[in-house]
Amino acid sequence: MAKIIIILSFICILFTGSAYGEDASQNDGDVVIPPGMEALREGSVNVVVPRGARLRKQGSVMLIETADEYAYRKFMDTEEHFKTIEKELNRQDKEIGDLKEAVKKLEEDARKK
C-alpha cells in the first residue's frame, strides 16, 4: 500500500510540474517566469515582478511598487486616457456639426437651382 501511495505521489508531482511549466514562459532559456509576471532588467540584474509593476531605487535597494502605488498609477493613467478620448469625441462632435451644416447648405443651394 505504501508503494502505491509513493508511486501516485510521484506521478502527481510529475503532472503538476509539467502543467505548471506549460503556462510559464522562459526568459533567456534559464529562468521560468510564472503567468502574470515579467522579468525587468535593472542594471545587471533581472527581477521578476507582477506584469505592469515598476521598480524604483531607494538608496542601494530596489523596491517593487506597492499594490496601492500600482492601483493609483493605473487609475491616473486610465483617467488621462479617458480625458484624451473625451477631447477626441468633442472634436469629432464639432466636426460632425460642421458637416451637417455644410450638407444643409448644399441641399438649400440645390433646391434653389
Tens-digit pLDDT profile for residues 40-86: 887 777 888 888 888 888 888 888 888 888 889 999 999 999 999 99
> CA-CA distance, 37 to 48, in Å (whole number)?
6
pLDDT at res. 47: 81
pLDDT at res. 92: 97
Q: What share of the chain is helix, strand, coil (3-state, %, to 5)?
A: 60, 25, 15
> CA-CA distance, 81 to 58, in Å (whole number)?
29
Write out pLDDT tens, residues 3-52.
666 665 656 565 555 444 444 555 555 668 888 888 888 777 788 888 88
pTM: predicted TM-score of the whole model, two decimal places: 0.51
